[in-house]
Every structure is written in C-alpha cells, then in structure tokens.
Amino acid sequence: MFFPYFYFDPTIIILIPGILIALWASINVNTTFNKYNTVLSRTGLTGAQVAERVLHHHGIYDVRIERVAGNLSDHYDPRANVIRLSDSTYNSTSIAAAGVAAHEAGHAVQYAQNYAPIKMRASIVNVCRFGTPLAFVFLLLSFFVSYEASGTLILIAVALYSLATVFQLITLPVEFDASKRAMVSLEATGLYGTDELAGARKVLRAAALTYVAALISSILSLLRFVLIATGGRRRR
C-alpha cells in the first residue's frame, strides 16, 4: 500500500503569530470603519470635499481628487499628483470617510513639504518589489556552487529579502505621520465636534495598526527565510 509522504516545514510556525495579528488588524479596521461609516458628520461634507479642505489648509491647489472603484482602495498617486478615493469615501459624508480622505490628503501634504521618509519610501519601492523573488533565486543558486561561494549567495539572498522589511519599517512612520497631519487639519478647520474628531481618530488608529501588523509579519517572514537559508547551508 502506498502512503504519501508529506514534508512538514517546522519554520512555518514562526509565521503563525504574524498571521493572527494581521487577521485581527484586518477585522478591526473593517469593523471600526463600518461603525463610523454609518455616523454622518454634521457638516455634510463629502470625503472629496474634506480632502480638498485639507489640501487648501496647507496651501495646496494643484492636486486632483478622483473617484476609484473598490472599497477602502483610497490612495495618493504622487506620479500623477492625484488623490483617488474609493466608492465608500468619495461621496460619503460619514466620519469614517472624512478620516480616510484627510489621511490621503496628508500624504499629498507630505510630498508637497518634502517629508523625508515618504521620499525615501518612493525611491526604494521598485527595488523592494523585486527583492523577494530575487532572494529565492540567489538562495536556489547557493545549492549549486561550492560551500564557500554559497555563503556569499546566501548573504545576498538575505539582504534582498530584508528589503521588504525595510520598506515596511519606513512605511510605518509615513502612515502615522499622514494620520497625524489629517487630524491636525481636521481640528484646524473647526468643522468637526469633539465626538466627530474622536471617531475619525479611531478609524485612523485602526488603519495604522494594519501597518504595524504588516511590519511584524515581515520581520517574522524574514526570520523564517534566514533559518531556511542557514539551515540548508548547514545540511550541505
């Protein structure tokens, strides 16, 4: 009788905490957004109008605001100098929409004011995008060269794989700063009451935790990659 053999990689256990944290963060941000998406602001301003107010508050008038399909697909595109707000934000007058729109406007303000971390993130994004697949290529090559040469290839592989973690590490202050700018701008307009500002802050805090979860997951993934790479070298 044939019994299939399944190989269990024990290093996969390292990823479990990151997966659980990321799952919790995702549930938390969706729950928080949905809660405050039903709370309409007393001003009646849409997400698009809020983003515009934040931009104007900082003397920025050359950034376009467009609608993009999807839910929570909001983002600022620095190449086109456009803030794209999702269906759940663009025309919505909810507190959640106000917070999200102000946050994306915060990113536009960061670029306008030459905020160093966001410039740094933009400069390495393409390198980081190809770092992970290239890391596995170098790791694979390390099995076909001499023991001495394999050490160099593994170091290169680890360095390439670590770029994803570096990217997440830089992203964290960028996102927190954008949310801080958003809240300062919303408070400065005087359009929102204390309870409304508190709701917007909770939405942004929940969103920020997803980036914390992403960083933790990236660090754990890097640790696993290092263990796999060095473990394969020891078995040679």
Neighbouring CB atoms inside 10 A of 14's CB total: 17
Domain ranges of the chain: 10-234
Query: How far apart, in whole angstroms, are the C-alpha atoms of residue 74 and residue 122?
Result: 17
Query: How far apart, in whole angstroms, are the C-alpha atoms of residue 224 and residue 232?
Result: 12
Query: Rounded to two decimals, what is the model's pTM?
Result: 0.85
Query: Is 104 part of the annotated catalytic residue set?
Result: yes
From the list 70, 73, 49, 65, the residue with the least C-alpha distance to 108 is 65
Secondary structure in 3-state letters for 161-220? HHHHHHHHHHHHHHHHHHHHHHHHHHHHHCCCCHHHHHHHHHHHHHHHHHHHHHHHHHHH
Task: Give the distance from CA 166 to its chain's centroid.
Answer: 12
Query: How far apart, in whole angstroms, are the C-alpha atoms of residue 155 and residue 175?
Result: 30
**210-232 tens-digit pLDDT:** 999 999 999 999 998 888 877 75
Mean pLDDT, each 10-residue run in order, the chain (236 residues): 52 90 95 95 94 94 94 91 94 95 96 94 86 88 79 89 92 95 91 93 95 95 86 56
What size, in residues, is the chain? 236
Of residues 104, 148, 175, 187, which has the active-site annotation? 104
Question: What is the SS3 assignment for 40?
Answer: strand
Q: Would you state the pLDDT for residue 227?
A: 87
**6-34 tens-digit pLDDT:** 455 688 898 999 999 999 999 999 999 99
Which parts of 37-115 fold into alpha helices (H)? 47-57, 95-112
Q: Which tokens sit at 142?
A: 């390390």
| Structure-token match 């390439």, residue found | 160
